[in-house]
A and B are shown apart, each in its own frame.
Chain A
């Protein structure tokens, strides 16, 4: 069976304590704590794995331990032609370790596999599990004023309604940015709120003259605690709606990933028509996400005419979503066991007409943009993501495909209806902004073709199966969907009373952020916004701002409360303290 080859190879290197199989292409191997770095490194580099997600879990009520799951997608290294494993051998192998509550430390994998860095930082924030040897031990997801000894995802830590008292301003630690050594280097802060960024994120650019030497960033300005919320009060019907709200663009992909994780764990197969409509919706989502990003890449470089044209075409993708799901965004359609809404013949006919419009008009605008040499010059050679860096950090989506690595979940692990659909994976060499936008253009074309094929091939079956299912507590499974920004991976461990025990939702951009600093290096400040834009990042929202007085060079952090207070009353200006 699938995965056996990898487990056998792993067994020759280290001792495997237990092997469990979740479904046909997912297997979990329990290893000893000290063998963890070697097990992950071996599967990652020697066997051709990519880190899909890492899940920390509080399993004290099950086996009196905390657990870590490193889920690797086995695809082959793909660094050169032929370095890819056979299609029927691709699968997910998860390395699991148990950590005793008496000693909350484990050996860090990051020195061997750099892709683990954010996951291990998050494991500390949420569970207090300390990675020994982790080069970067700063906080990641929780804000700086969060109490030190409160780890929110521990089962006994807090209720989801509890709001802890935040640290006082003066006790709040200063966030340390990783500053490169050298003379003549100055810090240029970009954010947390900045006109060129769509959403908040604090980028600290270290510049020598106009050139960026290095960069560091602080994100998660408003961590919404969705995983905690889902664990406490959501049933599976509501989970779909919550997962949609993870992201404004890839919402549908999150919803199907979340619901499919639950479906996979109980081996529930949904009807073929529902599978096809799920794919149609996720491809519509790709159409409007890619049109958004190509438009913004033009806008950031000052090409407003192209931006307006692309947004005019994007309107058609929203019309399409309206026809298929009833809303201008493909929301509220997925439920466990299938879908809520079918398509009629008239809707299909109208959709095909709109698809034709998108197909021809995208070409018109793209040809015009490609003829504009000034536009191309702004994109070429900017923000290069090296192939090896992309491999080391397990980047996903157009980010990695623009660096010449053929990595697409629809192709590597065909889910739902994708087994019956023909499409080419868009891969472009170069790794710069131009390559990434080129990948997006090629995917626009392939998305149109995929939607057409779905309409042609979808059978006249029901759209939902009778939901007579019972989830089994402690069963878990992964689900993966190729969202516009890359692979979204959801992991669900079932709890009792038809609820989740642990939901781990890993959005595409989470895997892309850590390699961003390598893309900044060597570029000018003017290109910083463009590089961030070409990553197509997914931020969340902010809760604080930093006010800097350029004369006195003092800065002050204002919380949400301070800012609102000042905006409402216009009294006690925060600038007073700075002068």
Chain B
């Protein structure tokens, strides 16, 4: 019994003064995902990769905005969102503290992106930024001005209208063009 007290003497104080003193974490620590709205293009890759459904991407009620929402209470800190994000809009930080406020909504982060409407059916189908990002990627690919302009028009058509166009071209005997 006395020997245990000797060990106490030997090692002294081992606790941290957390939260008054920051807790040092290892490099590559998987903490809370940090979201940078300006970089987000609303591609929803993070939402698909998230195994616990902490990230959701969906249109709001009147479909004017594409809402990106992250619930930290559901997050399992796996870092799949970090891996798949093409623009680096979501990165794992060194923060880990969840118990900061009594308000549950403090755990939720939201980002609202402008909606792109389909030029054919005028229905919303993606975020404007995603279409812009797609166009920027294509413009780097040296397609030539004419094809680039065609692609730009093509990008702003929703997948359903693209499908319908392909089917109607096919049934009317026109040659099928796949961009």
Q: Which residues of A line the B interface, CB within 8 A?
A: 237-238, 241-242, 245, 305-306, 309, 312, 315, 319, 322-323, 325-327, 331-332, 340-341, 364-365, 367-369, 371-372, 374
Contacts and interface: CB of A to CB of B under 8 A. Distances in A.
Interface in B1-40: 1, 3-8, 11, 14, 25-26, 28-30
A312 B11 contact: yes
A326 B30 contact: yes
A568 to B, nearest CB: 15
A326 B29 CA distance: 4
Interface stretch (B63-71, B75-83, B104-112, B165-173): B75-83
B26 A326 contact: yes
Interface residues of B, number: 21
B134 interface: no
A331 B76 contact: yes
B29 A322 contact: yes
5 contacts: A305-B4, A325-B30, A332-B76, A365-B4, A368-B3
Contacts, number: 57
Given A322-B25, A331-B76, A241 B7 contact: no
Nearest to A312: B14
B8 A309 contact: yes
B88 to A, nearest CB: 18
Contacts of A371: 3
A433 to B, nearest CB: 19
Contacts of A319: 26
Given A241-B78, A332-B79, A327 B14 contact: no
Contacts of B79: 326, 332, 340
B51 interface: yes
Contacts of B5: 305
Contacts of B119: none
B52 interface: yes
B30 A309 contact: no
Query: Chain B interface mostly helix, strand, loop or mixed?
Result: loop
Contact of A367 (B3, B8, B28, B30): B3
A322 B26 contact: yes
A241 B80 CA distance: 11
A326 B4 contact: no
A332 B7 contact: no
B54 to A, nearest CB: 12
B6 to A, nearest CB: 8
Given A238-B51, A332-B79, A306 B4 contact: yes
Given A241-B51, A322-B26, A372 B1 contact: yes
A332 B1 contact: no
B30 A327 contact: yes
A374 B1 CA distance: 9
A312 B77 CA distance: 25
A367 B2 CA distance: 12
Interface in B77-122: 77-79, 83
B8 A305 contact: yes
Interface in B128-150: none
A237 B51 CA distance: 8
Contacts of B8: 305, 309
Contacts of A331: 76-78
A332 B4 contact: no
A326 B51 contact: no
A475 to B, nearest CB: 24
A374 B2 CA distance: 13
A339 to B, nearest CB: 13
Contact of B78 (A323, A332, A367): A332
Contacts of B7: 309, 364-365, 368
A371 B6 CA distance: 13
* Most chain A Cβ neighbours within 10 Å, of B1, B3, B4: B4
Going nearest first, the 5 A-B pairs with the smallest beta carbon separation are A368-B3, A332-B78, A326-B30, A241-B51, A322-B26
B116 to A, nearest CB: 29
Given A319-B26, A326-B28, A309 B77 contact: no
B85 to A, nearest CB: 15
A103 to B, nearest CB: 41
* Most chain A Cβ neighbours within 10 Å, of B51, B52, B76: B51
Contacts of A367: 3
Given A305-B8, A341-B28, 10 more contacts: A241-B52, A309-B8, A315-B14, A322-B25, A326-B28, A327-B30, A368-B3, A368-B7, A369-B4, A372-B1
* Most chain A Cβ neighbours within 10 Å, of B3, B11, B52, B83: B3
A242 B51 CA distance: 8
Nearest to A369: B4
A461 B31 CA distance: 28
A312 B4 CA distance: 13
B102 to A, nearest CB: 15
B30 A332 contact: yes
A368 B10 CA distance: 14
Nearest to A298: B4
A555 B132 CA distance: 66
Contacts of B52: 241
B5 to A, nearest CB: 7
Contacts of B11: 312
B77 A332 contact: yes
